[in-house]
Amino acid sequence: MLKINDLRVEYEKGVPTLDHYDLTVNDGELVSLLGPSGCGKTTTLRAVAGFVDTAGGHITISERDVTKIPPNKRDIGLVFQSYALFPHLTVFQNVAFGLRMRRISKKDQKKRVDEALRLVDLEGLDQRRPAQLSGGQQQRVALARAVVIEPQLLLLDEPLSNLDAKLRVNMRTEIRRLQQRLSVTTLYVTHDQIEALAISDRVVVMNQGRIEQSGTPEEIYKQPQTPFVADFMGFENHFAGTVRAIAADAIDVQAADTTFKATQVSGDLRAGDAVWVYFRSEAAQLATEATPNSLPVTVLLRTFQGNTIEYVIQSDLGEFKVRMPEDQVRFEAGPAYLSLNPDSLIVMPK
């Protein structure tokens, strides 16, 4: 288990990159840190690995406080973005390096390296040098090298960002399978939301050194709790409104001349509060006549996108994007109604 308590990291004195930072990764869990570059996700990972000095707080791995322990004694497996294989050593020697540093006998080294290489499907390549391998193969060597030492914690720093799109999807599945088979506690850093959703038990969205939201991939995808998370998770549309009334199962939000019913609410709201209402382009519908929860709009543009049709529409609440299945009735430029399902509207404090 990894526990980070009240962590503070300063690259420049007095200017914290991370402050009052708390994070727990349970045994066998894969948690990904997701956020744009500069949000502090890599700093968090490097602090756990011991490559960044901490200015306060504690990092505990399996009940052992490692905050002041040098990086070579932390017993962590680490996979780098650039793989960082040792160019002058063979695949076998690369994977064996950690065992060699732990003074494991030659015989056991051989046994464990062979097993690790089998685990990542690299049997028979043990005498190659890194330069003779493809990007995907190098990535597997880096993985084998990190897990062969049977670490208490596995850290992965954007491990797929140097691979092409197709390979990325395959490797993602393989990393997840390997992690589950070894049930190793894992912290995974990425800026790619789809990758984070696909691979994680839990996703932690970070912004400017703070945790915006932490939850299961589904929670993060469906119920963002802050505007930042909603934007980052691809909610293309939002408008401002005011809370009118609150019931047990729904909330009424007034925007322009329309009152919308919404069921997805984040945070404590009271009548009169200013709020943002977010919705995804594929969760909205165009209609020919007014329905409950609908808004008169003008269709500006229609574009064909394969299995969907995307419309750009104008309303009193601003410009929106709507994506509808390709086989549904098409709308021409001109007046229409935007119909919003109460379950697809996310309301959060402004």
Partner 1 sequence: MKISRWYYVSLGIVYFFLLGPFLIIFAASFGAESTLSFPPRGFSLDWFANIFANDNFIRSFWTSLQLGLLSTFLSLLFGVPVAYALTHFDFKGAGLVETLFSLPILVPGLVIGLAMLNFFVLFGKFDMMMGLMAGHTAILFPYSVRVVSVALRNLDPAVEEAAVNLGANRLRTFLLIVLPNIRAGIAAAFILGFITSFNNVPVSVYLSAPGVNTLPIAMLSYMEYYFDPTIAALSTLLILFSLLLVQAAERVLGLSQFV
Is residue 161 at the binding interface for partner 1, with CB under 8 A as the rule? no
Phi, psi torsion values for 194, nearest 5 degrees: -65, -40
Interface pick for partner 1 out of 80, 215, 226, 254 (rule CB under 8 A): 80
Give dist(CA 350, CA 339) in Å, integer: 23
Cβ neighbour number for residue 54 with a 10 Å cutoff: 19
Is residue 52 at the binding interface for partner 1, with CB under 8 A as the rule? no
Taking alpha carbons only, the member of 175, 108, 167 closest to residue 142 is: 175
Give dist(CA 104, CA 95) in Å, integer: 13
Look at residue 211 and give its three-state secondary structure. Answer: strand
Interface pick for partner 1 out of 102, 177, 181, 330 (rule CB under 8 A): 102
Question: Closest CB to partner 1 among 144 and 277?
Answer: 144
Residues 113-152 that bind partner 1 (CB under 8 A): 145, 149
Interface pick for partner 1 out of 68, 73, 107, 166 (rule CB under 8 A): 73
- C-alpha dihedral sign at 220, 225, 229, 230: positive
271 Cβ contact partners less than 8 Å away, ≥ 6 residues apart: 243, 244, 245, 246
Phi, psi torsion values for 291, nearest 5 degrees: -130, 170
Residues 32-51 that bind partner 1 (CB under 8 A): 49, 51
Interface pick for partner 1 out of 12, 14, 68, 87 (rule CB under 8 A): 87
CB 123 within 8 A of CB 144: no
Question: Closest CB to partner 1 among 10 and 236?
Answer: 10
Question: Closest CB to partner 1 among 69 and 169?
Answer: 69
Residues 199-258 that bind partner 1 (CB under 8 A): none
Q: Output the smallest distance, CB 166 to partner 1, in A.
A: 25
Give dist(CA 7, CA 12) in Å, integer: 15
Is residue 101 at the binding interface for partner 1, with CB under 8 A as the rule? yes
Question: Closest CB to partner 1 among 83 and 311?
Answer: 83
Q: Which tokens in the block code for residue 120?
A: 């990542």
Cβ neighbour number for residue 71 with a 10 Å cutoff: 14
Question: Closest CB to partner 1 among 73 and 166?
Answer: 73
Interface pick for partner 1 out of 60, 81, 242, 263 (rule CB under 8 A): 81
Is residue 337 at the binding interface for partner 1, with CB under 8 A as the rule? no
Question: Closest CB to partner 1 among 155 and 204?
Answer: 155
Interface pick for partner 1 out of 23, 76, 116, 265 (rule CB under 8 A): 76
The count of residues in the chain is 350
Q: Output the smallest distance, CB 142 to partner 1, in A.
A: 8
Per CB under 8 A, the segment of 36-44, 55-63, 97-105, 336-344 that binds partner 1 is 97-105
Interface pick for partner 1 out of 35, 40, 98, 217 (rule CB under 8 A): 98
Q: Which tokens in the block code for residue 156?
A: 């992965």
Is residue 90 at the binding interface for partner 1, with CB under 8 A as the rule? no
Q: How many residues sit in the footprint of partner 1 (CB under 8 A)?
A: 24
* Residue 24, burial from CB neighbour count under 10 angstroms (0-12, 13-18, 19+): middle
Interface pick for partner 1 out of 30, 39, 66, 85 (rule CB under 8 A): 85
Taking alpha carbons only, the member of 1, 9, 23, 138 closest to residue 83 is: 138
Interface pick for partner 1 out of 28, 56, 71, 296 (rule CB under 8 A): 71
CA distances in angstroms from 63 to 7, 23, 26, 58, 348, listed in the order given: 16, 14, 12, 11, 38
Per CB under 8 A, the segment of 77-85, 121-129, 200-208, 339-347 that binds partner 1 is 77-85
Q: Contact positions toward partner 1, by CB under 8 A?
A: 49, 51, 70-74, 76-78, 80-82, 84-88, 97-98, 101-102, 145, 149
